[in-house]
């Protein structure tokens, strides 16, 4: 019975990695299409009192990746470890993170700096899409699809 349980957990992790990969690719594409709107949404999110929850989301979302054992598991472990280690800083010091972000965004609010904001968001989109592709390739390799 334990082997059946392990198989179900493993299947759930495969589906989680695939779902997270697709989500990251879609999010990256949205960032490419509307980088300034995404930055505006981030500014609003960081300003909310619930922002500390972002740290909890990073921890909870990244932890399953640290126990994933499919293809490219070493790379995915590292990609899961990063949010798990960053999450506590946002969880315990949301005001400091908020102040740094808002200070940076206020300095970049002029029209001449909007191109810098676009470059930052496009760089972020590239990273998100790359990670999403790694996750989907891992799923496909683990399932023998490629």
Q: CA angle 78-129-10, nearest 5°? A: 50
Q: Over the stretch 2-50, which tens digit does the pLDDT of each residue have?
A: 566 667 778 999 999 999 999 999 999 999 999 999 999 999 999 999 9
User: Residues 6 or more apart from 108 whose CB is under 8 A from it?
Assistant: 114, 116, 117
Query: Above pLDDT 90, what percent of the chain?
Result: 81
Task: Check whether 129 has a pLDDT greater than 80.
Answer: yes
- pTM of structure: 0.90
Instruction: Tell whether the torsion through CA atoms of 51, 59, 15 and 139 is positive or negative.
Output: positive
* Residue 124, pLDDT score: 96
């Amino acid at each position: 019975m334990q082997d059946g349980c392990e198989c179900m957990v493993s299947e759930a992790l495969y589906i989680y990695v695939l779902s997270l990969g697709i989500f990251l690719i879609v999010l990256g594409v949205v960032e490419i299409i509307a980088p300034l709107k995404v930055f505006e949404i981030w500014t609003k999110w960081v300003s909310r009192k619930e922002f500390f929850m972002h740290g909890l989301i990073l921890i909870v979302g990244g932890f399953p990746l640290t126990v994933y054992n499919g293809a490219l598991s070493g790379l995915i472990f590292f990609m899961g470890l990063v949010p798990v280690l960053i999450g506590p800083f946002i969880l315990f010091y949301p005001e400091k993170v908020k102040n740094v972000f808002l200070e940076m965004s206020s300095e970049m609010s002029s029209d001449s700096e909007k191109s810098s904001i676009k470059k930052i968001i496009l760089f972020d989109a590239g990273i998100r899409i790359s990670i999403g592709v790694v996750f989907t390739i891992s799923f496909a390799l683990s399932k023998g699809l490629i």
